[in-house]
Amino acid sequence: MRIVCFALDIIFYAVILWVILSWVVSFGRLSWGHPVRKLYDFLARMIDPVLRPIRSVLPPVRIGGGGLDLSPLVLMFGLIILRGLVC
């Protein structure tokens, strides 16, 4: 059971790191070979399959000319609830 709790914690913090890195990558204009960009791409490949079903139900919230993706927030709340039930 401790392994499941640890895995849920790792996923939770990976989502937070991915969100922060998405801001850094988009505003920092990092090259493709930059280590931060490589870490972001790795996390995106792991997290995007989990976020895809949430995004199909919850479209981005339109703010001005852009959209705000709330799917990572929904995933983090789900992980908190799941961890509370399991652990």
Q: Is 53 left (phi over 0), alpha (psi -120 to 50) or beta?
A: alpha
Q: What is the value of pTM for the model shown?
A: 0.87
How far, in Å, CA of 39 to CA of 45, rounded?
10
How far, in Å, CA of 57 to CA of 49, rounded?
14
pLDDT tens track for 23-61: 888 887 777 888 999 999 999 999 999 999 999 999 888
16 with 77: CB under 8 angstroms? no
Region 6-13 average pLDDT: 96
The pLDDT, as a whole number, for residue 1 is 85
For the chain, the domains span 2-86
